[in-house]
Amino acid sequence: MYIDIHAHLDFFDEKKIASAVENAKKAGVGLIVNAGISPERTKKTLEIMKKYPNIVKGSFGIYPVEMLDLSPEDVDEQFKLIRKLHAEGKVIAIGEVGMDMKEGRELEKQKRNFERFVALALELDLPIVVHSRKAEAECIEILEKLKAKKVVMHCFSGKSLLIERVSRNKWFFSIPANIKFSEHFQKLVKKVDISQLLCETDTPFLHPDKLKDNEPANVVESYKKIAEIKGISLGECEKMIEENYKRVFEL
């Protein structure tokens, strides 16, 4: 089956969610990991999981920029909730979490916040899905310092030497469907062994044809491009990526 390891279906209304899930099933997508990235979006993600239990699973965290604006009490409550959901078997990963220096805000606070989430992932023995925009080196340093193992670099935009560093750590790269036109992601896939690749859409963002409202069904475009670059059949690629998913999310 095709797997979208990172989506935000909770950005859609109920009608659009139903349509996106149906389109995904028709495209052969068997699993969508929806990221609840705030207290409010966690609640909506749980509602989606309850409505579509056979296809939607949840990862939970707080988006790094949004975390800067939450009160310490709200952040603590999210951590408590994640621990509770983990005890109930409702959490497949911590994410997306990390750092974002596109706006250049509060680097040291972002580092401390990210360290808390890495520690939580280690405590619960869960993979961590990392957002690292304009802070790729800083995120890698923290992950290395805390000896994180189950790491997925979501939409990684770092340069070649940082790609090599992630690869040496045996971490994973999640390749979005916009690899269809993105030279950066095409070069990354050429460079990295397929055993360290996963696929995502980042729905509703990063549409493979630069249109509005990406959907999990389009994760197939990521598989197609990886298969083309690696010189293997689409079926082989699908099986290999599924095995990668099992190694990081199920073991």
Q: What are the residue ranges in the chain where pLDDT is below 50? A: none
What's the DSSP call for residue 11?
Answer: G
pLDDT of residue 50: 98
What's the DSSP call for residue 246?
Answer: I
Q: Where are the beta strands (DSSP E) in the chain?
A: 2-7, 29-36, 56-60, 93-98, 128-131, 151-154, 172-176, 197-200
Q: Give the strand order in the sheet containing 56-60.
A: 2-7, 29-36, 56-60, 93-98, 128-131, 151-154, 172-176, 197-200
C-alpha span between 66 and 158 (Å, rounded): 22
Residues 156/176, Cβ–Cβ less than 8 Å: no
**Under CATH, which architecture does the 2-250 domain have?**
Alpha-Beta Barrel (3.20)
Q: What is the pLDDT of residues 166-222, one digit of tens each?
A: 999 999 999 999 999 999 999 999 999 999 999 999 999 999 999 999 999 999 999
Helix 72-87 × helix 39-51 angle, to 10°: 20
pTM score, two decimals? 0.96
Tokens of 52: 């579509």
Residues 240/118, Cβ–Cβ less than 8 Å: no
57 phi and psi angles, rounded to 5 deg: -115, 170
Counts of helices then strands in the chain (DSSP H, E): 10, 8
Number of Cβ within a 10 Å radius of residue 40: 11
The domain limits of the chain are 2-250
pLDDT of residue 250: 86
Question: Following DSSP, what letter does each residue of 173-241 receive, concatenated?
Answer: EEEEGGGGT-HHHHHHHHHS-GGGEEEE--TTS--TTS-SS--GGGHHHHHHHHHHHHT--HHHHHHHH
